[in-house]
Amino acid sequence: MKFKVLGSGAGIPSRTRNTQSFVLDVVEEINQYFLIDTSEALQHRILDTTIRPSKIRHVFITHLHGDHILGLPGFLSSRSHQGGEGIPLIVYGPPGLEEWIETTFRTSGTHLNYAIQFVEVGNGDVFDIEGFKVSVQLLDHAIDSFLYVFEEPDKPGALKSDKLREMGIKPGPIYKQIKSSKTFEHEGIIYNTCDYVSAPTAGRKVAVHGDTRVIRHKDYLDMLEGSDLIVHEATYLHGEQEKAHLYYHSEINDVLFNLSQISYGQLLFSHISNRYDAEMVRLVEEQLPSGIKLAHDFIEITIPRDSQ
């Protein structure tokens, strides 16, 4: 599992940062990509990667500000001609998203050659998507903005074949039968299968924020607890907590202090204001603890199993 940043900037693009768009790469797990937010020029960004639009079957929009959605009409249209013909797509997002796309397509005469479904999300929603549990939490922004938490299912433990061989059970179809049952019989004795299977490997958990102020509620922090990767905005990198709060955004040190109350694997800060030059970004990065990074366009984060 990998997390790829196609755009890491806030508000408007700069020479070095496009506005926000992410991809959760679960090709190894389910042969798909989850696309999260769709900044302007998304089509061009994808062309600079090995991502195949036909393998994007689910799109998640955090909120309806332009720097997070203006690339969606173009992406949907180009997907028709990039292997997506006949492959359905589901778009999850706040109320109003479907109406905006329908109006855009109607006025521009755009037609798709695949089925598209819009799912309106709300606070507390939970979806089962390709075996992943996807939870939705309302954030604190000028308009409705959401957190998406992606939880991979646990990976079943492996059969302890050495123990079975010691019992005199030779490899073969019987091993599959044993693993799929709660008990098995050998030479007249009933055994519990769980004693012959290793513990399952916990699924990974990735939490991706839309724009937000810092949230200090316990329920919110509990939702992030144990994440292997948290992606959070840091529009403000150098103080100015009051200004960040005034404009419904977050300041990096305030976020770090807030998240110090929970355990997590990696933390990636994105949505970086274009008023910070490369030298300021470098100075901030040098002060960050291990496992915490500032995003830049095309950065790729590997999310290993058991990263906690």
Average pLDDT over residues 29-42: 97
248 pLDDT more than 60: yes
308 pLDDT more than 70: no
User: Is residue 186 annotated as involved in ligand binding?
Assistant: no
Domain ranges of the chain: 2-155+203-302, 161-196
User: Is residue 211 annotated as involved in ligand binding?
Assistant: yes
Cβ neighbours of residue 289 closer than 8 Å, sequence gap 6 or more = none
DSSP annotation of 10 reads: S
User: Is residue 44 annotated as involved in ligand binding?
Assistant: no
Average pLDDT over residues 222-230: 98
DSSP output for 275-300: TS-HHHHHHHHHTSPTTEEE--TT-E
Give pLDDT, residue 211.
Answer: 98
Give pLDDT, residue 199.
Answer: 87
Cβ neighbours of residue 105 closer than 8 Å, sequence gap 6 or more = 73, 111, 112
pLDDT in tens, 88-125: 999 999 999 999 999 999 999 999 999 999 999 999 99
Query: Residue 155: which pLDDT band, with cuts at 50, 70 and 90?
Result: confident
- Per-residue tokens: 166: 């010691």
Q: At CA 188, angle to CA 184 and CA 189, rounded to 5?
A: 55
Average pLDDT over residues 54-75: 98
User: Is residue 245 annotated as involved in ligand binding?
Assistant: no
Query: Residue 307: which pLDDT band, with cuts at 50, 70 and 90?
Result: low
Give pLDDT, residue 156.
Answer: 84
**48 noted as active-site residue:** no
- The pTM assigned to this predicted structure is 0.91
Average pLDDT over residues 27-47: 96
10 pLDDT more than 70: yes
Query: Residue 182: which pLDDT band, with cuts at 50, 70 and 90?
Result: very high
User: Is residue 271 annotated as involved in ligand binding?
Assistant: yes
Decide if 144 contacts 63 (C-beta within 8 A).
yes
Residue with tokens 């939880």: 151
Does 2-155+203-302 carry CATH code 3.60.15.10? yes
Residue 49 burial (10 A CB sphere; 0-12, 13-18, 19+): middle
Average pLDDT over residues 234-246: 93
Residue with tokens 């939705």: 136
User: Is residue 195 annotated as involved in ligand binding?
Assistant: no
Average pLDDT, the chain: 95
Give pLDDT, residue 305.
Answer: 83
Q: Which of 25, 67, 144, 297 is catalytic?
A: 67
Average pLDDT over residues 233-249: 94
306 pLDDT more than 80: no
Q: For residue 125, give the nearest of 140, 135, 139 by alpha carbon.
A: 135
